[in-house]
Structure 1
Amino acid sequence: MTSPAADLAGSPTSTAVTRPATLLAVGRVAALAALVLCVLLQAIDHDFFPPQISVSQYGIGPNGWIFTAWTVLTAIAVLTLHAGEPANGHHFGYWLVIGSIGLVTMGVVRTDAGGLQQSWHAKVHMVGSIVALVALPIGMAMAMTWARARWRRTAWILVLVSAGALIMVLLSATGSATWGMDSPHSWAFWQSVAVTVDMVLLSTFALATFSRPRDPDPGPRALV
């Protein structure tokens, strides 16, 4: 015979409550670790704002594993934060999964040194980065339907800023100079702005999980 407390601990309801809490804890820790690694990458290369190289160049050299770890932790953070929260609609999850695949691809497949992106692997890296920079911020903002209004507003403002930075990246890719910078430095600057804004959005996503307007009934969660 078991005690009522033991029966409750092993009940489906208890499991349903514990699983989201565990996922949220993993997501929060992963988000914090990703932020630390993002700053560490810049510190190691002594490349703070305005950057001299693109974010992708952090993956080249002996410290490239830090770049890969940053992309993997960021993907883990967004996916577990989403899976641990209520009302995680399937179409929101698809955005996050696609963006995470693009991000990890960017982290594993290296670009060319110097940023010319002429090799096949540099082109794969570029496609992965574009997919990540487009899909992840939109997916995070869409997935925050459960959050308080101020968090949702902040998320969509950050998405708009990120989108503006990506437009400037595309202009730089055509050879246009912006803000007095030549094309390569313009590309590096606006790409760094987009990544920084997306990391702020990830922080917003994680912080919003600490403050919800209401706690819905716990139930099974799905990633997508």
Structure 2
Amino acid sequence: MSEDSHRTRPSSRTGVSAWRAERGIRTSSRPLIRPRRCVRMHRPARWGLGAAGAGIAVIVGLEVSSLDDLNPIRRTISEHGMGPGGWIFGCAVGLLAAGSVGIGVSLARRKLAGVLGTVALMGWSVGLLLTAWFEKHDWSVGPSVSGSIHRVGSFVAFLCLPLAVVLITGPWRRRERSRATLVAFGLGVCSVLWVVGIATMVFVGTRNGVPWYRVMPLGLVERGLAVTEVAALLALGVWAATPGSRSLEPGFRAGGTAGSAANLTPPHV
């Protein structure tokens, strides 16, 4: 090999930089990193969204078909479960509960939800199952064990979901934010405000001797809270089912390949 060819080779790291600069090769101070495969869509979240969507569709159908018989301003959603066709409403709520469990499983497996958030989401599902299994009771004829369990299940469900959504999607948990997490967190905060407003009205009414169910248009308020919470749940499901953002590993430049990195390597000394 000729003496001139040896002179063209860099003999140190500084020489490598000068050699690249002379030949117009751009360098970057960033570490070479390699793209990692995206996280696959979790099957439980997809099934959960499907089950929840089916349950919601059935409940909406019951609402539309009973507009002439059921006053949505004063009558609660659970009254669809009373009567011979109550099993349809029970099945719909059961589907919503099962779908919520599927979404929670995906969130836990992907480490998107902590222990408290997962427990709260499971509390929502358990509350829904109690609501579906134990029929609403007509309290004008006296107390009932089934009606009491139904009421407790409703309270647990409506209280647990806002807590779960805020705990799982809170901005203090993660730096990267997606549209689904922002939507879910906003709806979770709105659900909390619904609950606080209802509790305040009940407290004021109780102090004035007004029954809690007469303090507000109960059916309208319950439907507003239910729509907000179900929308937050669906946003969680979309987030759990969507592949994660592409992460990077040391070893290759982002967006590049091993071959492209090798092309920037100067001749060996």
| TM-score, structure 1 normalization | 0.72
1:172-203 per-position Cα deviation (integer Å, ceiling 9, x unaligned): 54684xxxxx9276122111111111111122
Task: Determine which of 151, 162, 166 is the counterpart of 2:180.
Answer: 151
Q: Note the residue ranges of structure 2 that are not aligned, 5 or more in a row.
A: 1-38, 206-212, 248-269
> Are the equivalent residues in 1 in contact too, given 2:136–2:147 (CA < 8 A)?
yes
Matched, 1:197 2:219: no
Separation in structure 2 between the aligned mates of residue 156 and residue 115 of structure 1, nearest angstrom = 39
Structure 1 letter corresponding to 2:148: K
Separation in structure 2 between the aligned mates of residue 54 and residue 118 of structure 1, nearest angstrom = 18
Structure 2 letter corresponding to 1:163: V
| CA shift in 2, pair 1:24/1:31, >3 Å | same
Task: Determine which of 183, 192, 213 is the counterpart of 1:163.
Answer: 192
Matched, 1:108 2:133: yes
Residue correspondences, number: 196
Task: Determine which of 234, 238, 243 is the counterpart of 1:207.
Answer: 238
Separation in structure 1 between the aligned mates of residue 140 and residue 202 of structure 2, nearest angstrom = 11
Residue 163 of structure 2 is matched in structure 1 by: 138
Aligned-pair distance for 1:101? 1.0
| CA shift in 2, pair 1:143/1:175, >3 Å | closer
Residue 3 of structure 1 is matched in structure 2 by: none
Structure 1 letter corresponding to 2:134: V
When the two chains are superposed, the root-mean-square deviation of aligned CA atoms in Å is 3.3
Residue 54 of structure 2 is matched in structure 1 by: 33
Separation in structure 2 between the aligned mates of residue 128 and residue 32 of structure 1, nearest angstrom = 21
| CA shift in 2, pair 1:58/1:132, >3 Å | same
| CA shift in 2, pair 1:34/1:90, >3 Å | same
Structure 2 letter corresponding to 1:35: I
| CA shift in 2, pair 1:115/1:143, >3 Å | farther
| CA shift in 2, pair 1:101/1:116, >3 Å | farther
> Are the equivalent residues in 2 in contact too, given 1:92–1:139 (CA < 8 A)?
yes
Task: Determine which of 209, 214, 235 is the counterpart of 1:183.
Answer: 214
1:146-180 per-position Cα deviation (integer Å, ceiling 9, x unaligned): 8843322222221222223223433554684xxxx
SS in 1 for 2:217: helix
Q: Note the residue ranges of structure 1 that are not aligned, 5 or more in a row.
A: 1-16, 177-181, 217-224
Where relative contact order (Cα < 8 A, 6+ residues apart) is larger, the structure is 2
> Are the equivalent residues in 2 in contact too, given 1:106–1:129 (CA < 8 A)?
yes
SS in 2 for 1:62: coil
SS in 2 for 1:84: helix
Residue 179 of structure 1 is matched in structure 2 by: none
Aligned-pair distance for 1:106? 1.1
| CA shift in 2, pair 1:39/1:142, >3 Å | same
Residue 12 of structure 1 is matched in structure 2 by: none
Structure 2 letter corresponding to 1:155: A
Matched, 1:76 2:98: yes
Matched, 1:63 2:85: yes
